[in-house]
C-alpha cells in the first residue's frame, strides 16, 4: 500500500456513482440546482474595445449577453481576446475576480503568444459575492431574495454565466476551436469552473486553481478550511442544504472527488500551491486519485502519479486528470497558466 493510497483509504470516501447520480446529489446537497438555459439569448459586441491590443496581435472586444429567463431579462458583460492571425484557436473561459483585460490573474498577451484565445468575465457582474439574493441574476431567480433547501447558491449562478459565455463561443466557430474549450478559475472561482464543466460537456477541459474546500479538495480529514468554516462565512455560495453538514463531514453522502469524477471522460487539471494550507494541497491531490476510477471506467488513463505526494514544482500530466504543485501562496500566477497551457497542449 503506497503512502497516498493509504491516506485515501483512511478517508472512507463514498463510492463513485454515475455522473448523473453524482451531479444530482451534489446539486441537491451542496451547490443547488443550476438555473435552466435561457429561453432567449442575444449578444451585442463592441469590437476593438481596446485599440491596438497586444500590438495588433489580438482583437479585444466587449460583449453584453442579454438572457431571458422566465420572461425576465438579465444582462452581463464579458470580454474576448482572439488572435488576429487566421486560424481556429483553443480558448479559455476564465471566470475572474475583476473585469480587467489583462488582469493580475490573466496574462492575456502571453496567452495569445502561446496560441490561445481567452474569454473572461467578472463574477460580480453576474451577481454580488454576498448574501444579497436580489442582486443581478439572483434577483431574477429569487424576486423576494429568499432561498430554501436546494435553491442554487452564487457558485451555481457564476457557473451558469460561464455557460452563457460558451454559448457566445459557439457563434465564433470561425475563429475558436470549439473542441478545445477550457473553463478555468481560481479559489471560489476554481470551484465554479469545476461545477461549470461537470454540468456542461461542451468544455473539453476544466482547470481549478487553489479551490480547496468544497472545490477540488477531499473534505473528509481535510486540513485548514472545512464545511463549518466555509459555510459560516460564505453560506450564499451554496444551497441551504449544505449547512446541515457542518461538523458532519463523515456523514456526507458525497465528497469532492465526485465533482472531478463527474467531468469524465473529459480532462481535468487541479493546481495547488505549496503554502496554501487553507486549501490543503494534499487533499486536492487525493481528490484526483479518488476520482480516477471514473475516468478509467471510460477507457481513459485517469490520474497517473507516483507513490507519494507531489513535490514542489512537480506535475502529474500523463492521464486525463492532471495535478501540479507550485511554490508559494494562494494566487493565480503566471506559473499556473503555463502549467495549464502545458496540460491542454499535451492532450490535444
pLDDT mean values, one per 10 residues, the chain (348 residues): 84 97 98 98 96 97 97 98 98 99 98 98 98 98 97 99 98 98 99 99 98 98 98 98 97 98 98 98 98 98 94 98 98 98 98
User: How many CB atoms are closer than 10 A to CB 55?
Assistant: 7
Q: Specify the length of the chain in residues.
A: 348
Q: How does strand 40-46 pair with strand 58-69?
A: antiparallel
Q: Where are the alpha helices (DSSP H) in the chain?
A: 3-11, 19-26, 108-113, 136-141, 154-170, 188-198, 227-233, 257-261, 281-296, 334-346
CA distance 103 to 330: 16
On whether the CB atoms of residues 330 and 279 are closer than 8 A, the answer is yes
Half-sphere exposure of 118 (CA within 13 A, CB side): 25
Q: 333: domain range?
A: 3-346
**Active-site residues: which are they?**
187, 330
The three cell numbers locating residue 158: 457564476
On whether the CB atoms of residues 74 and 159 are closer than 8 A, the answer is no
The three cell numbers locating residue 307: 507513490
Number of domains in the chain: 1
The closest of 16, 13, 81 to 260, measured between CA atoms, is: 16
CA distance 319 to 175: 28
DSSP string covering 39-53, please?
Answer: SEEEEEEETTSSTTG
CATH of the domain at 263: 3.40.50.1820
On whether the CB atoms of residues 212 and 279 are closer than 8 A, the answer is yes
The three cell numbers locating residue 101: 483585460
CA distance 289 to 322: 10
DSSP letter for 29, please: I
The angle formed by the CA atoms of residues 91, 284 and 95, to the nearest 5 degrees, is 30
CA distance 194 to 183: 8
pLDDT for the residue numbered 229: 98
The closest of 171, 189, 56 to 121, measured between CA atoms, is: 189
On whether the CB atoms of residues 62 and 149 are closer than 8 A, the answer is no
pLDDT for the residue numbered 1: 45
- H helix or E strand, kind and range, residue 119: strand 117-122
Amino acid at each position: 500500500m503506497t503512502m497516498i493510497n493509504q491516506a485515501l483509504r483512511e478517508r472512507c470516501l463514498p463510492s463513485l456513482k454515475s455522473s448523473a447520480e453524482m451531479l444530482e446529489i451534489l446539486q441537491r446537497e451542496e451547490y443547488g440546482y443550476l438555473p435552466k438555459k435561457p429561453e432567449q439569448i442575444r449578444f451585442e459586441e463592441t469590437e476593438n474595445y481596446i485599440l491596438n491590443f497586444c500590438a495588433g496581435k489580438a482583437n479585444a472586444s466587449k460583449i453584453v449577453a442579454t438572457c431571458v429567463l422566465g420572461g425576465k431579462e438579465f444582462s452581463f458583460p464579458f470580454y474576448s481576446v482572439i488572435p488576429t492571425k487566421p486560424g481556429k484557436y483553443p480558448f479559455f473561459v476564465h471566470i475572474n475576480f475583476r473585469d480587467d483585460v489583462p488582469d493580475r490573474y490573466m496574462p492575456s498577451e502571453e496567452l495569445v503568444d502561446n496560441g490561445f484565445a481567452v474569454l473572461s468575465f467578472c463574477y460580480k457582474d453576474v451577481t454580488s459575492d454576498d448574501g444579497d439574493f436580489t442582486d443581478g441574476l439572483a434577483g431574477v431567480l429569487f424576486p423576494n431574495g429568499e432561498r430554501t433547501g436546494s435553491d442554487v447558491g452564487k457558485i451555481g449562478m457564476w457557473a451558469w454565466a460561464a455557460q452563457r459565455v460558451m454559448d457566445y463561443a459557439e457563434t465564433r466557430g470561425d475563429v475558436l476551436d470549439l473542441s478545445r474549450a477550457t473553463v478555468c478559475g481560481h479559489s471560489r472561482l476554481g470551484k465554479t469552473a469545476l461545477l461549470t464543466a461537470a454540468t456542461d460537456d461542451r468544455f473539453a477541459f476544466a482547470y481549478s486553481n487553489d479551490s480547496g474546500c468544497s472545490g477540488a479538495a477531499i473534505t473528509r480529514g481535510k486540513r485548514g478550511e472545512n464545511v463549518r468554516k466555509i459555510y459560516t462565512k460564505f453560506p450564499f455560495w451554496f444551497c441551504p442544504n449544505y449547512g446541515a453538514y457542518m461538523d458532519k463531514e463523515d456523514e456526507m453522502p458525497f465528497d469532492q472527488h465526485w465533482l472531478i469524477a463527474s467531468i469524465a471522460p473529459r480532462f481535468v487539471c487541479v493546481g495547488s500551491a505549496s503554502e496554501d494550507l487553507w486549501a490543503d494541497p494534499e487533499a486536492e491531490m487525493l481528490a484526483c486519485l479518488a476520482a480516477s476510477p471514473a475516468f478509467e471506467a471510460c477507457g481513459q488513463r485517469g490520474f497517473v502519479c507516483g507513490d507519494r505526494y507531489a513535490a514542489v514544482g512537480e506535475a502529474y500530466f500523463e492521464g486525463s486528470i492532471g495535478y501540479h504543485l507550485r511554490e508559494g501562496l494562494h494566487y493565480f500566477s503566471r506559473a499556473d497558466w503555463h502549467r495549464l497551457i502545458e496540460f491542454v497542449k499535451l492532450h490535444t
